[in-house]
Structure 1
Amino acid sequence: MGHVAAAQPPGALRKAGEEVSAHVGHARLLGRDDLPNLPYLRCIISETLRLYPAAPLLSPHESSADCSLHGYHVPAGTMLLANAYAIHRDPSVWDDPEEFRPERFHVNGADGQGQQGMMLPFGMGRRRCPGESLALRTMGLVLGTFIQCFDWSRVAGDEVDMTQASAKILYKAVPLVALCKPHDSMRAMLQSGSS
């Protein structure tokens, strides 16, 4: 996930780095108790999941009764698939949906729901991923630690090609390569392996 953030405008990483430095410092590694104090880091994670969900289609659901959805008749027993990729990039829901803008979640509380509850990277309903809170905490710890310990940059100064290669599982067509350099303030801790 740090490599995805490294591919984005440097302002997002700089702002997250300032937040981590202000709330955690450099005398110890970031821990899970720090995560509630890092709202901009949560915004980066939410925005990354919005633009790059693990899978474009959510788990299938079945209509339990005849119903109508936006003018369409849906008979009972119909299998329904929600396209999270399309919902997360819908311009009627999101302003500038193709842009990486973590701040859009700060306005909405960085709670992972985003605009009108249309943030669905972990699914919805009874089939919503039971590991969502573990995944979000792990992403926060990993990305926060990467930001705390390293300066991230693009290998080449060019824009990064974020084109997706597959419609089933969203992986990149062109591998993303990022350069990480240990922060001088964290070098001794990283070399000693202690926290």
Structure 2
Amino acid sequence: MTRMIAGKRYYGKGVTIDEAEAREAKKLIKQIVGSGGISYVGDFLPILKLVDYNGVKKRVVELKEKIDAFIQGLVDEHRRKKGDPELADSMISHLLRLQESQPEDYSDFMIKGLVFVLLVAGTDTSSLALESIMANLLNNPEKLKKAQDEIDSVIGHDRLVEESDVSNLPYLQCIIFETLRLNTIVPLLVPHTSSADCNIGGYFVPRDTIVMVNAWAIHRDPELWEDPLSFNPKRFEGSGGEKQHKLILPFGLGRRTCPGATLAQRVMGWTLGLLIQCFDWKRVSKEEIDMREGRGTTMPKVVPLELMCKVRPLMEKLVPKD
């Protein structure tokens, strides 16, 4: 995401990395996501806003200032290095070029807002989803083997999986969909407001009411899913899987669906395909991986995932040993 947005890489051997900037970026994203799901009692007892109960407002303001300073730094760097080939094709560079011709439509405020949304929505969510996918596969090694066999059959051992290959790996996609169902990374979708009086589940909902959709509960509803607590990618296979696809909504539905859904699925599919193709994976112990979910706007694992891996013998010629 940072390569697309700012033309930067914060990870990777042989890449010039500002370690302090990388640490700050990762820290800010974790703070933003961790603060997104908090409840502020001042919203329910307004008198507490006079004293900033628990210092929530102070922390939010401090976080906002850090975020603004970080993203403004990225924008200013692009201005200073205008013409730098490494930054020329980044999203910020494109927006700054538009700012020159349409300054009223592409202010720094608007550019920073776009960068903020993409960094928050497109980084932590994807990494947590991949963590849950790998945890599920290591708890179900026969499914990992099936995915590996599919990649070997379709791609072979003479080249690495490319982004364009993801659409030709249906079982790999089923694994991703099943994880997004069982381990919904954003359990409560972005709040919506009813545009008119309506009835939802037998309840009258007046116009302009904030509506929260509990995707996590929908994805585990036994009336909608057979054996809903099991990890079963096969439920999304074939013609029967089309019906199941319509029942999951990790990215929302309709006009307000997440505009990054296609990008997220391709990035996760490509990354997962490479991990499975290039390495053999094992749990660090004989016990199943702990799948308990933590708190926050997104749901991290309570116990961070630890795995062991080694390069597959057939892939040694394509994967650097160091």
* Fold equivalence (TM over 0.5): yes
Structure 2 distance, partners of 1:4, 1:134, is: 22
Q: Aligned with 2:308: secondary structure?
A: strand
AA at the equivalent of 2:195: S
Pick aligned residue for 2:188 from 39, 54, 57: 57
2:264 is paired with a residue whose SS is: helix
Q: TM-score, normalised by structure 1?
A: 0.91
Kindly name which structure, 1 or 2, has the bigger radius of gyration based on alpha carbons: 2
- Structure 2 Cα separation of the partners of residues 108 and 164 of structure 1: 32
Question: Partners of 1:33 and 1:74 in 2: how far apart?
Answer: 44
Q: RMSD across aligned C-alpha pairs, in angstroms? A: 1.9
Structure number with the higher strand fraction is 1
Partner of 2:298: 169
Runs (4+) of structure 1 moved beyond 6 Å?
none
Note the C-alpha offset of 1:179: 1.1
> How far apart are the structure 1 equivalents of 2:156 and 2:261?
28
CA shift at 1:155, angstroms?
Answer: 1.0
Matched with 2:210 is: 79
| 1:110 to 1:34, Cα distance in 2 relative to 1, 3 A | farther
Relative to structure 1, the CA distance from residue 133 to residue 109 in structure 2 (aligned partners, 3 Å threshold; closer, same or farther) is: farther
Within a 5 Å distance, the mapping from 1:1-195 to structure 2 comes to 1=130, 3-108=134-239, 114=244, 117-166=246-295, 168-191=297-320
Range moving further from structure 2, 136-145 or 126-135: 126-135
CA gap of 1:104–1:142, structure 2 versus 1, over 3 A, is: same
CA shift at 1:100, angstroms? Answer: 0.6
- Secondary structure of 1:97's counterpart equals coil
The whole-number CA distance in structure 2 between the counterparts of 1:161 and 1:108 is: 33
CA shift at 1:192, angstroms?
7.4
Give 1:8 deviation, angstroms.
2.6
Is this contact kept in 1: 2:135–2:289, CA < 8 A?
Answer: no
Q: Is the 8 A contact 1:66 1:76 kept in 2?
A: yes
Question: Taking CA–CA contacts closer than 8 Å with sequence separation of 6 or more, which of the two structures ends up with the larger relative contact order?
Answer: 1
Unaligned runs of 5+ in 1: none
**Number of aligned residues:** 191
Counterpart-to-counterpart distance in 2, 1:167 and 1:96: 27
